[in-house]
Structures are given as structure tokens and as C-alpha cells.
Structure 1
Amino acid sequence: MTTPTAPATRGTERFLASELAGEANFLIARARSRGSAEANARLAPLGLRVRSYSVLSLACSGLHPTQRELAEFLSLDPSQIVALVDNLEKDGHVRRIPDPNDRRSKLIDSTEAGQALYERARALTCESEALSLAGLSAAEQRQFLALLNKAAFPPN
């Protein structure tokens, strides 16, 4: 049995050579965690977090998603979507409207107040994204986003 020796360097930089630092799932989770923390901090004064912002964004998109579609697209449990929509609705930012194609279903639509909140929040998330991607050139940012989109939404 060997006795561990003190590392020559301290801090997280020494882990960059580890196998873990080369694993896509770890890197994606780390980047997501850092980006979400930054975005949540910027959105907090508006009473939003990344998840509620995501629901609000899609409600403001003009696509009129159902709660089921929101859950699927955002990879969240339907019960989480219900709570997010409930809170946004309670605050007057979204409303549930009848789906003309399925009376049992409701579409999620933004209110005027929700649209105004979204515009303010979008500016903050753009600032957060710029900070997250600051180490990349403009071309690298475009490529990175394209590759993330491919990984997030693979063809069936």
C-alpha cells in the first residue's frame, strides 16, 4: 500500500489532465452548471430562473405550446412544467387557452406583461451566454452552438 503524496499543484487545474476532463457528458454537465448558475443570478431580480425563463420564452414564441410539448422539448417532468406554468400564470405572465384541436388540452400563451418580462430576461440571458462563450471566437461560437444543437436534437 502506498501513501498518497501531496500534489505538486493545488486547485482544479490539476484535474484537467484526468480522464474525466475529456468525457463529453462531464463537460456538458459542467458547462451547463456554470451557465445556469450565471443565468440564474442575472434572472433572479426578475423573479425568474432558467427553467421558468425557458417556459416563458416558448410561451412568447408565438408557437402556442401545450404543457406536454414544453415537457418534451425542455426534457422536464410534466409535473415540473405544471408548477412552472402555474407560477408564471399566477404572476400574470402566461395564460392557458383552449386548444382548438383538442378541447382537453390547453395552449400556453404569453400575456403583454409576460412579453415585456421576456424581453428584459432575454437581454440578461444574452449577457450570460456571452460571458459563458467569451473564450471562443465568433466562428467558434457559431460552430459550438451548431454542434450542441446536433447533440441535443439528434435525427430520429
Structure 2
Amino acid sequence: MARPEKTAIPETDRNAPAVGDELLRQFIGYNMKRTFLVVREDMHRVLEPLGLKVATFSVLSVVVENPDISQSQLAQALKLERSGMVVLVDALENDDHISRNRVPGDRRTYALRATPKGRRLWEKARTVVEAHEEALFGAVLNEEERALLLNLLQRVSHAL
């Protein structure tokens, strides 16, 4: 698992007492945030060689799963602003990973579809993301615990 590079601690801080966060660690949200930051940083590291970011990987994943999805539906599925979605879709389209196709009878809506190149990229990305998750979570959780964690997070996400 990649860890952030440690920056040099100024001499004056080396002798300072360690700062604790135990009061915060009792809260689920705080622990989720800390975990998310590590997961996101490592995801960035493994996706970067493929020319993807976490956001473009997410967009490509939903488009692969839902051929002919509209940008509005995509934004809604990923809980992103439609204006931000345009930038992500443009990047994937410019790299020939997705295509925008006219919807008959609707001049304002485009159907998004992964190109063959985009589907191949998604398969490669899926492999590296699976390895990333195994490296991060497999070291501390067994298979049953990982399945339980995923289930609990999905239940909370769906409920909210």
C-alpha cells in the first residue's frame, strides 16, 4: 500500500508532544473520512498509469454498465453536478473511451456509450482497482469481513 511521502518536520516541531485525535476516532464519519483519503490517494496512484483519475474511472464504469445513459442520468447516479460531468465526459470522449450519440426525437440529449477502446481500458482498470483493494483491505480484513464492510457501506449509502 502506498503511503504519503512524509515531509520533513521542522526542528521546532520534533520536540513537540504528539497530537492525538482519539476524541474524533469515536465517530464513524471521521474514521470513514480518514480511510477514504488513504483509499483515494492509492486509487489515484494505480489509475494514473492508465490515464484515468478516480472520477473518470467512475464515469467510465457507469457508462460501461449502462450503455446509452444520458449525461443527466450519469450525473445523478454519481451524485455529481451536471456542469462537472461535462468536463469528465469531454475528457473520456476526447480520448475515444466513450462516444456521444444522438437520441432520436430529442435534440438536446446524448446517449453515452463506451467505445471498444473504453471497454478495454475499463477491464484493465478493473484489474488494477481489484488489486488495489486487495492490497489495502486484504492486509487487515479477511474475505468475510470485507464482504460485511461492503454490505454495511452499501446499506448506509442506499439509506442516505
Partner of 2:99: 95
Q: 1:27 to 1:127 in 2, by over 3 A?
A: same
Partner of 1:22: 26
Deviation at 1:141, TM superposition (A): 0.5
Partner of 1:81: 85
- 1:151 is aligned, of 135, 142, 156, to 156
Q: 1:104 to 1:136 in 2, by over 3 A?
A: same
Q: 1:69 to 1:132 in 2, by over 3 A?
A: farther
In the alignment, the residues of structure 1 paired with residue 147 and residue 52 of structure 2 have an alpha-carbon distance, to the nearest angstrom, of 27
Q: 1:99 to 1:22 in 2, by over 3 A?
A: farther
Q: Deviations over 1:96-138 (max 9, x none)?
A: 1233574422121100000011111111111111122121111
- 1:122 is aligned, of 116, 121, 126, to 126
Unaligned residue ranges in structure 1 (runs of 5+)? 1-5
The two structures, once aligned, show a CA RMSD in angstroms of 2.0
Please say if residues 100 and 110 of structure 2, whose CA atoms lie closer than 8 Å, have aligned partners that are also in contact: yes
Q: Deviations over 1:63-111 (max 9, x none)?
A: 4322112212212111111100000000000011233574422121100
Partner of 2:69: 65
Partner of 1:141: 146
Unaligned residue ranges in structure 2 (runs of 5+)? 1-15
Partner of 1:47: 51
How many pairs does the alignment contain?
Answer: 145
TM-score, with structure 2 as normaliser:
0.82
Deviation at 1:149, TM superposition (A): 0.5
Counterpart AA for 2:112: I
TM-score, with structure 1 as normaliser:
0.84
